[in-house]
Amino acid sequence: MRKNIILFVFITASIFVLFGLNLALGTISIPLESIWNILWGKGDETIIWQNIIWKSRFPQTVTALIAGAGLSISGLQMQTIFRNPLAGPSELGISSGASLGVAFIILLSGNIGGVALSRMGFVGEMAVSIAAIIGAMVVMLIIVAISQRVRGNVILLIIGVMIGYIATAIIGVLKFFSNDEDVRAYVIWGLGSFAKVSESQVYTFVTLMAILIPLSFLLIKTLNLMLLGESYAKNLGLNMRRARFWAICCSCIITAIVTAYCGPIVFLGLAVPHLCRTLFSSSDHRVLMPAVTLTGAALALLCNLIARMPGFEGALPINSVTALIGAPIVISVLFGKRKNELHEY
């Protein structure tokens, strides 16, 4: 218990430190004192620094913090529902559905109208976000409908993967018939970025996630019962079909919103639950849910900081950074298990 408290304090403190570093570091370094004055409206800091903080770094940092927390919660829910250590937010085809929606906007609209909607400034940004949400929600509705008819979690997981393959195939056809500029724009979107959320959009994003993340915490008791197995959970009065329905809906909606605003961010939802189970030595969701929320936020801030480190021209693709950090975490956790646990994986 004491160890967990120390870990929570350390992770929380690291979030504050990383948040400050994300605001301070970049191609232009800004002193922490100046950042404090800008955030609280004190002093007479240069207008250039104020614009960098309010129009770029602050929205990007807040987006990274919230998106990392949301994806980590979604990954934990998926791994619990399917009792599969390799399950993640994208395994049910939700990210692929969002990507397909964006592909129609970036690739198909360019072929039909001559100019892709994505190149129309603010209207284009809104069109891409809305298309991603619609694509993700359509796949989610299909998955939810199937989940009411299929009892086995493994079958549902396989169907989700197949839906992802279908979406990828359609995207491949659209790429084949699109011009190079539109394909490049789509590829850049697919690399993921916390910088896509503008100053005006960040408030909507934070509001949506501020509703969805607390709702996820209401499922803690349900997820703990799911760990006992279907038979035990039913004997304790849990309606498995309804519980799976709400857990899948919550996880899918979080993934859809994050993907719509940030693109398909990989590895955070897969790696963070594994890391937290190892650090906190617990499978109790009363511990894991706040743990993955804080750890996911901290890890996303770290990845965003690395992607924007001074010396890089512009910013590295965030998915490259999350994969480089997330993959070793998953591998080290798996090899840290006892032999019989590793064999089960």
pLDDT band for position 301 (50/70/90)?
very high
The CB-side HSE value for 36 (13 A sphere, CA atoms) comes to 4
Q: What's the CA gap between 214 and 212, in Å, rounded?
A: 6
The mean pLDDT value for 91-96 works out to 77
The predicted-structure confidence for 215-273, as pLDDT tens digits, reads as follows: 999 999 888 888 887 777 778 778 877 888 888 888 888 888 888 888 888 888 888 99
Phi and psi angles of residue 219, each rounded to the nearest 5 degrees, phi first: -95, 5
Answer yes or no: are the C-beta atoms of 248 and 83 closer than 8 Å. Answer: no
Whether residue 342 contacts residue 334, with contact meaning beta carbons closer than 8 Å, is answered with yes
Least reliable range by pLDDT among 32-36, 229-233, 319-323: 229-233
Distance CA 290, CA 286 (A): 7
Q: What is the mean pLDDT of residues 335-340?
A: 57
Contacts for 166 with CB less than 8 Å, ≥ 6 apart: none
Closest CA to 344 of 47, 149, 83: 83
CB 136 within 8 A of CB 256: yes
pLDDT one-digit tens code per residue, 185-222: 888 888 888 888 877 788 888 998 999 999 999 999 88
3-state secondary structure of 230: helix
Structure tokens given for 217: 């915490």
Return the closest-CA partner of residue 158 out of 222, 86, 207, 211.
86
Which residue, 305, 309, 287, is CA-closest to 297?
Answer: 305
At 158 the pLDDT is 81
Could you tell me the domains of the chain? 2-344 (1.10.3470.10)
**Mean pLDDT computed over 49-57:** 87
pLDDT at 329 over 70: yes
* pLDDT higher at 169 or 340: 169
